């Protein structure tokens, strides 16, 4: 799905780090917006954050030293937290890509292990492949989150690809790699593509950032995770991202400039009537 990073990146951080992209900046946000996309924020997700964006230095704080997000005290009808959407009978799914905040740039440069840890710290889990596909295609079995035919401009899937300097990227989290990340990052803020959503209100499933999920279908490689949904420059080979666009070529510690995720969880059981 991409030019594979030949130099293996060490697992320097236990938290999701933000990364890089394949094309020119889209001009929809300033440098501070990009900085926030390069920091993993462990506060409770779901609401737009109007405070100061997290700095790069936050990335050096191990996940175990960060305060876990508080559990929601009350759940709305449907058994899902307010920052999630009920998808089918057995799944609650984040409305947006991590950090699951409307108006925030999604995290990238995430490994599957990062994603598992981040979701667990937020009292959730990484979505499965079947859950992700079911949420994307809905009960209409659509090819795209919004329907059966691709519509240009509806999702962030048409950015021009720009080659990445993999040797520079491999120096992450050195300043040189961070600067290169900001030069390449092209994800749009979560929810800004208002029509790139399912009828239940789950945004950016195709395009934007490529998402890690746990594998639940047969694939050529034996890894426990796959990437799904392609990203802002489409899919490798020029195809448009669909609800079934997958990449099973990478292990759990692989991270690259467009790899992100979102979380799922099981709905709460309905309260018994007394």
- Phi/psi-derived region of residue 234, left when phi > 0, alpha when psi is between -120 and 50, beta in every other case: left
**Is cis: bond before 99, omega within 30 of 0?**
yes
Rounded CA-CA distance 240/229 in Å is 9
Predicted confidence (pLDDT) at residue 63 exceeds the cutoff of 80: no
183-211 pLDDT, tens digit per residue, is: 889 999 999 999 999 999 999 999 999 99
Name the residue range of residue 254's domain. 21-43+80-268
260 found inside a domain: yes
Q: Quick one: what percent of the chain has pLDDT higher than 70? A: 70
173 found inside a domain: yes
Rounded CA-CA distance 139/124 in Å is 24
pLDDT value at residue 34: 60
Higher pLDDT: 138 or 44? It is 138
251 found inside a domain: yes
11 found inside a domain: no
16 found inside a domain: no
**What pTM, to 2 d.p., does this model score?**
0.77
Categorize the per-residue pLDDT at 32 as very low, low, confident or very high, splitting at 50, 70 and 90: low
Higher pLDDT: 14 or 66? It is 66
Higher pLDDT: 180 or 191? It is 191
211 found inside a domain: yes
CA 51 to each of CA 33, 47, 70, 182, 215: distance values in angstroms, whole numbers, following the listed order:
12, 11, 19, 21, 36
Kindly report the CATH number assigned to the domain that includes residue 201: 3.90.1580.10
191 found inside a domain: yes
pLDDT value at residue 35: 63
36-48 pLDDT, tens digit per residue, is: 566 554 444 333 3
Higher pLDDT: 179 or 65? It is 179
Exposed, middle or buried, 64 (CB in 10 Å: 0-12/13-18/19+)?
exposed
Looking at the structure of the chain, the number of domains it has is: 1
4 found inside a domain: no
Rounded mean pLDDT, 123-152: 96
Categorize the per-residue pLDDT at 117 as very low, low, confident or very high, splitting at 50, 70 and 90: very high
7-31 pLDDT, tens digit per residue, is: 333 333 333 344 333 333 333 444 5
């Amino acid at each position: 799905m991409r030019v594979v990073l030949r130099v293996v990146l060490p697992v320097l951080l236990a938290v999701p780090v933000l990364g890089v992209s394949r094309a020119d900046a889209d001009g929809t946000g300033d440098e501070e917006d990009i900085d926030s996309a390069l920091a993993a924020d462990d506060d409770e997700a779901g609401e737009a954050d109007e405070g100061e964006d997290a700095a790069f230095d936050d990335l050096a704080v191990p996940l175990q030293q960060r305060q876990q997000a508080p559990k929601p005290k009350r759940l709305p009808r449907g058994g899902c937290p307010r920052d999630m959407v009920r998808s089918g009978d057995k799944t609650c799914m984040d409305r947006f890509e991590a950090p699951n905040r409307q108006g925030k740039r999604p995290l990238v440069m995430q490994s599957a292990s990062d994603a598992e840890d981040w979701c667990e710290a937020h009292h959730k889990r990484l979505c499965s492949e079947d859950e992700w596909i079911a949420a994307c295609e809905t009960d209409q079995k659509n090819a795209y989150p919004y329907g059966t035919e691709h519509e240009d401009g509806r999702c962030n899937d048409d950015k021009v690809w720009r080659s990445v300097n993999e040797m520079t990227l491999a120096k992450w989290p050195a300043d040189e790699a961070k600067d290169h990340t900001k030069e390449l990052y092209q994800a749009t803020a979560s929810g800004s593509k208002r029509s790139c959503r399912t009828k239940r209100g789950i945004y950016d499933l195709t395009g934007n950032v490529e998402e890690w999920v746990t594998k639940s279908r047969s694939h050529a490689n034996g890894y426990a995770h796959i990437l799904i949904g392609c990203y802002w420059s489409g899919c490798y080979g020029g195809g448009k991202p669909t609800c079934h666009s997958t990449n099973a070529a990478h292990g759990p510690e692989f991270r690259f400039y467009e790899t992100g995720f979102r979380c799922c969880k099981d709905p709460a059981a309905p309260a018994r009537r007394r």
